[in-house]
């Protein structure tokens, strides 16, 4: 009987360890880590030109300049003009909800004093409003 209990406890322990590894081991791959503009500027030496990382912040009002190949804008920790900011050059189509004043996480590399990105995720609010349709009754 003691051997049976020992066997059951051993198997239960192994199962708990495996479940823990599956649940918590995969958790890190699903998290999105990004640096704020202030952190990115402060840790500039940790990310030499060409090393990818994610940068997150708010798109400063009046800084968005669209071009044929993408866009250029300024990301800062806050929307005021005094907070640290980074100039971003994004190639490709921006996220559909992209606009000034919205939170954004972009992935790319430093190139000189600007951040060049090719991947963008925008933060939206929790209120869903369907797009306005032409001719819809109000």
Helix H, strand E, coil C: the string for 8-77 is HHHHHHHHHHHHHHHHHHCHHHHCCCCECHHHHHHCHHHCCCCCCEEEEEEECCCCCEEECCEEEEEEEC
pLDDT digits (tens, 9 = 90+) for 71-130: 999 999 877 778 889 999 999 888 888 888 888 999 999 998 899 999 888 876 666 666
pLDDT attached to residue 33: 82
d(CA 89, CA 86): 10
| 107 vs 20: which has the higher pLDDT | 107
CA distances from 92 to 11, 13, 59, 71 (A): 52, 50, 17, 8
- Second CATH level (architecture) for the domain 32-122: Beta Barrel (2.40)
Residue boundaries of the structural domains of the chain: 1-31, 32-122
pLDDT attached to residue 27: 60
Rounded mean pLDDT of the chain?
A: 83
Q: Is 124 annotated as a binding residue?
A: yes
pLDDT attached to residue 136: 56
Report whether 37 contacts 75 (CB < 8 A): yes
| 135 vs 121: which has the higher pLDDT | 121
Question: In terms of pTM, does the model score above 0.75?
Answer: no
Annotate 56-76 with b (16+ C-beta within 10 A) or e (fewer).
bbbbbeebbeeeeebbebbbb
Q: Three-state SS for 117? A: strand
How many C-beta atoms lie closer than 10 Å to residue 121's C-beta?
A: 16
Determine the average pLDDT of the residues in 127-135: 65
Q: Does position 16 have pLDDT exceeding 90, yes or no?
A: no
Q: Does position 31 have pLDDT exceeding 80, yes or no?
A: no
Q: Is 90 annotated as a binding residue?
A: no
């Amino acid at each position: 009987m003691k051997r049976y209990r020992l066997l059951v406890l051993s198997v239960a322990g192994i199962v708990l360890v495996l479940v823990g590894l599956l649940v918590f081991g995969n958790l890190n791959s699903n998290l999105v880590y990004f640096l704020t503009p202030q952190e990115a500027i402060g840790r500039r030496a940790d990310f030499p030109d060409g090393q990818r990382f994610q940068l997150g912040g708010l798109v400063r009002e009046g800084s968005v300049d669209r071009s044929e190949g993408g866009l250029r804008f300024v990301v800062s920790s806050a929307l005021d003009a005094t907070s640290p900011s980074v100039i971003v050059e994004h190639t490709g189509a921006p996220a559909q909800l992209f606009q000034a004043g919205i939170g954004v996480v972009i992935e790319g590399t430093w190139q000189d004093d600007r951040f060049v990105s090719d991947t963008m995720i925008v933060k939206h609010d929790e209120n869903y409003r369907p797009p306005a349709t032409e001719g819809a009754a109000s």
